[in-house]
């Protein structure tokens, strides 16, 4: 989904949001620094394979995904990080690694770390390595309906 399509989806659902442009950055921590957002306030999307199916795990940029916790929450027999080759063609119009955490629009399950619920807003890549979108957590949760659980390690 290109940035414009994401905006249209948000507009069609009466969601107020802010677009933040920043210099090109690839890691979540670089993006947070470039956009002047604390790493805890920026959500990153981690692509995983759950029993052979693509899914998204969304967590604060400064956290690491605990695959065993995700496996338990998902009730999966197997879980692993997805390779770039497995997901790069699933998000047309998005730069690889910059997909927004809207797996519901791509037929994917979405799991969100519970710490994201502690902030009123969520910011995330908008399909490029130079643009973020910030919106209310309540709107994100309403639109995506992620499974909310403790997914991170090293908090």
CATH number at residue 77: 3.90.960.10
High-pLDDT (> 70) share of the chain, %:
86
**pLDDT recorded at residue 1:** 47
Number of domains in the chain: 1
Domain of residue 48 covers: 3-153
For residue range 22-70, list pLDDT tens digits in order: 767 666 666 666 665 765 678 999 999 999 999 999 999 889 999 999 9
Which helix (H) or strand (E) element contains residue 12? Answer: helix 3-12
pTM over 0.85: yes
- Choose among 92, 71, 72: nearest CA to 80: 71
Taking 70 as the threshold, does the pLDDT of residue 80 lie above it? yes
- Take residue 3 and report the two structure tokens written for it: 């940035």
């Amino acid at each position: 989904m290109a940035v414009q399509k994401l905006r249209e989806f948000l507009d069609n659902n009466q969601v107020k949001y802010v677009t933040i442009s920043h210099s090109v950055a690839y890691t979540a921590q670089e993006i947070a620094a470039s956009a002047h957002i604390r790493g805890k306030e920026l959500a990153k999307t981690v692509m995983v394979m759950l029993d052979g199916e693509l899914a998204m795990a969304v967590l604060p940029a400064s956290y690491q995904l605990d695959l065993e916790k995700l496996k338990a929450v998902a009730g999966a027999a197997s879980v692993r990080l997805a390779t770039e080759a497995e997901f790069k063609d699933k998000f047309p119009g998005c730069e690889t690694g910059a997909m927004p955490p809207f797996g519901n629009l791509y037929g994917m399950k979405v799991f969100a770390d519970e710490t994201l619920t502690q902030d009123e807003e969520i910011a995330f890549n908008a399909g490029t390595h130079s643009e973020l979108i910030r919106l209310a957590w309540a709107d994100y949760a309403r639109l995506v309906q992620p499974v909310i659980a403790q997914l991170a390690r090293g908090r």
